[in-house]
Amino acid sequence: MINKNLVFLLPILVLLLNQVHVNAVAQDYVPRNIDIERSPKNILVGSYVGGRSHLKPMLDVATILIERGHNVILLTAGKYEPSSEYPGLKQITLGPKMTVKQVKMDIYKDFDYRTMVPFMEFTTAAYNVTYEKFKNAAKENNIDLFICDVLANKPCIDVANNLNKPVVGFTLSMQMMDPKPYNSDPMYGCNISLENESIFERFRCALIQPLKIAYAYGPLMCKLNDIRDQMNIKSVSGTVPKVSLALIDTFFGFELPQSLAPNVQEIGPVLSEEYPPLTPEFSDFINGHKRVLYVAFGTNFYASIENNNKILQSLVEAINNKMVDGVVWALSQTSKDDFSPTLSFTDGTQFAPQFAVLNHTNTKLFFSHGGAESTHESLYTGTPMLVLPFGGDQMGNAQKLIKSAGIALSINKNSLDVKDILNKIDFLLKDEHIKKNSKRMKYLARINSNRKYRAADLIEYMLYSSGLNEYLDDDFLKEWIPAESRMGFIKANNLDIYGVLLIIIPALIGIAFKLIKYTTSNSLSNRKKSKQA
């Protein structure tokens, strides 16, 4: 039976508990303080190559730093004209903008590490002049921190390290900053993933290809080190540039998954907060067509006349076969002269607002070269892609879009076929897996697009976490520098332990054999003595 006193006390107990809850709700809580005490710092953003694809992601992060009160200076080739997109940004020019023709790269041939040799020769020859420009800009503007585009930009990284300033490496390539033996890139002559490759292919990619690359770049690296020695510059950037923090403009779902050190951060896709809207002409056209195919091959590459004609024929037949009902082709490097002289064109000089076109619900497919900015915008808007890679990172991006993201197909620039293009357009527009993956990647890209604020946070942490005069002290940033960078390759991978083990095991086996032999011989000797007795 239930105790009567207990029954009497229950209502009172409930009242007391309710009163405690009311008092707790009524109590004033103290909010946590998330403010950071900031003082303006001077930041230099440097890129030797320049161009929108290299500069825009860095400047989108720099915009956040400018909004937080920091002074940002851009040092790059040519004139980026950032005033409209990035107000408050000061620019110093390195000189005229470099062009593809300057470095004699044949865009119709395979574009891999060998194609980059003339480009590397060009940048090496300009190293001393470029170094002095970075150094003078840093001293004149009292720079506190460098953000360096990693591609062909050793002077920026060298100046930062020689002035004992923090340096942030910014790149699109994971392989350039944190290479893994199980990942590669078509730029280096291998597929992006070696996970399912044969032992012969992995042997080639792990040993043969690195030797070929070293043979191609070795003389240039020796020449560069000679220039450094003549200028009394401490050599600090090798195969993997020495930076305090590496920011990679990529994200999981698109990039192959791999373990990362704390000072290597994926912060992509880095996109602007605002983009140019559709012009009235574009808006009227796209609103009037329910299945639009958008074509754009970037600003640096263009196809041959023969390939342009094949592409155009494919687009016409795609419309005739009612796969699509409208096409927008943004002609940048391509002009009317790059098509058959029998074709006539309307002179359209409008800038194509690419993001706005892709973001329109009537745009169903993107025929692209697979550049990083185009890829990110396509993933963000959930637009499937047909990729025609010309070279550079585009070949690797194509493989990631197909294998990791599952939203694309690719075609080969050396063997374009109209029927093949049509079949792939039809597949991309109809396949349910493509539609599902496009939706999935759209969510992933949008969620990860906010990580540029994390990039700005990490840069500010570097600025405020320690006195800059003590930048190269061992204690600075020790919380995110992996131990392997200090231990060396052998110790970090326990190769010395395995070496000792390889010595111990044969020794133990030898001792075991001797014991067995000794025991066996004693046994035989005892048997002989027994028989003789």
User: pLDDT, tens digit, for every residue of 329-384?
Assistant: 887 655 555 544 433 344 444 567 899 999 999 999 999 999 999 999 999 999 99
Q: With 60 as the cut, is the pLDDT of residue 24 above it?
A: no
* Cα 531 from Cα 524, distance rounded (Å): 11
* Cα 90 from Cα 470, distance rounded (Å): 28
Which tokens belong to 298? 């970037």
Q: With 60 as the cut, is the pLDDT of residue 469 above it?
A: no
For residues 378 and 444, is the Cβ–Cβ distance under 8 A?
A: no
> CATH 3.40.50.2000 occupies which residues in the chain?
42-270+458-477, 280-448
Q: With 70 as the cut, is the pLDDT of residue 100 above it?
A: no
Q: Which helix (H) or strand (E) holds 446?
A: helix 432-448
Give the model's pLDDT for residue 205.
93
Give the model's pLDDT for residue 108.
58
- Give the β-pairing of 42-47 and 71-76: parallel
> Given pLDDT bands bounded at 50, 70 and 90, which one contains residue 262?
confident
* Cα 252 from Cα 317, distance rounded (Å): 37
CA distances from 12 to 3, 5, 8, 128, 306 (A): 15, 11, 8, 85, 91
Please name the CATH architecture into which domain 280-448 falls. 3-Layer(aba) Sandwich (3.40)
For residues 98 and 49, is the Cβ–Cβ distance under 8 A?
A: yes
CA distances from 462 to 38, 93, 266, 387, 430 (A): 12, 26, 17, 39, 49
pLDDT in tens, 378-420: 999 999 999 999 888 899 999 999 999 999 999 998 889 999 9
Q: Which helix (H) or strand (E) holds 327?
A: strand 326-330
* Cα 124 from Cα 219, distance rounded (Å): 11
Q: With 50 as the cut, is the pLDDT of residue 7 above it?
A: no
Amino acid present at 523: S
Those residues whose C-beta lies under 8 Å from the C-beta of residue 12, and which sit 6 or more positions away, are none
Those residues whose C-beta lies under 8 Å from the C-beta of residue 83, and which sit 6 or more positions away, are 89
Angle value at C-alpha 269, between 264 and 270, nearest 5 degrees: 90
Give the model's pLDDT for residue 8.
42
- Give the β-pairing of 167-171 and 326-330: unpaired
- Residue identified by tokens 């992509």 is 268
Q: With 60 as the cut, is the pLDDT of residue 185 above it?
A: yes
> Which carries the bigger pLDDT value, residue 111 or residue 470?
111
Q: Which CATH class is domain 42-270+458-477?
A: alpha beta
Give the model's pLDDT for residue 347.
40
Which tokens belong to 13? 């107990």
Q: pTM of the full predicted structure? A: 0.83
Pick the range with the lowest mean pLDDT from 49-58, 75-84, 99-108, 456-465.
99-108
CA distances from 444 to 138, 139, 272, 376, 449 (A): 38, 42, 17, 11, 8
Taking all residues of the chain, what is their mean pLDDT, rounded to a whole number? 84
